[in-house]
Amino acid sequence: MQKRDQLYEGKAKIIYATDDPDHVIVYFKDDATAFNGLKKDSIFGKGELNAKISTVFFKLLAEHGFPTHFVEQLNERELLAKKLEIIPVEVVVRNIAAGSLVKRLGFSEGQLLPCVIREFYYKNDALGDPLVNEYHLEALGASTFEQLSELSRQALEVNRILRTFLAKHDLDLVDFKLEFGLFHGQILLGDEITPDTCRFWDATSGEKLDKDRFRQDLGGLTEAYAEVYRRIIQG
């Protein structure tokens, strides 16, 4: 598979075309951003860790018969993936109260939620990816009610698989963000599954092992990501 022109550059990844119109190469950068890009830095080794962590999780989902855009890891920073027509919706799944949920609704950080919460955010950088409901998304033409129902179903299944797996490695899946797209009409999970897009806490100590270390100036981000990777590749 030959790498061709750059198609898109985001905050943490670059997408390249290939000589196959159905596939792209996803390159993971060392860039770290927070607060809608207001805080930025470059953290050596982060991209490699995210590529490897995503590979582990995508392979895990495949083992459970769950379809994703992932094809294979090409090298330390690049994945081969199916080219998706991205649905401009972020699906956030929350198991434990943290982040914006604490600020918006008054839950205590670390509180186990009485039910799994799913939220939709409209992917639009100019608007700051606002929290929306299914009626907003229908009105915006971002998705249909039927698509959102399927996204919600798939997000819950991802949560079930990951949460069960991570518990065996002494990690709590606090919350996470998923993105989906269409591949020849089929809805597939895309993007990445990493400590950039998930909150992982040590199940015993509550230590944060995700991008909150960057957001909150806790330091040790690379070490935290490396610890997540070390645990999830254990037998």
Mind listing the pLDDT tens digit of every residue in the chain (235 residues)? 899 999 999 999 999 999 999 999 999 999 999 987 779 999 999 999 999 999 999 999 999 999 999 999 999 999 999 999 999 999 999 999 999 999 999 999 999 999 999 999 999 999 999 999 999 999 999 999 999 999 999 999 999 999 999 999 999 999 999 999 999 999 999 999 999 999 999 999 999 999 999 999 999 999 999 999 999 999 6
169 shares a domain with 189: yes
191 shares a domain with 138: yes
- Within a domain: 233: no
108 shares a domain with 13: no
130 shares a domain with 57: no
CA 136 vs. chain centroid, Å, equals 23
Pairing of strands 3-9, 13-18: antiparallel
8 shares a domain with 75: yes
- Structural domain boundaries, residue 10: 3-82
CATH number at residue 167: 3.30.470.20
pLDDT at 35: 84
105 shares a domain with 39: no
- Within a domain: 122: yes
Taking the C-alpha atoms of residue 170 and residue 152, their distance in angstroms, rounded to an integer, is 26
Q: Cα-flanking dihedrals φ and ψ of residue 46, to 5°? A: -60, -45
108 shares a domain with 74: no
- Within a domain: 226: no
104 shares a domain with 65: no
Among 27, 48, 82, the domain boundary falls at: 82
Handedness of CA 179, 41, 71, 167 (dihedral sign): negative
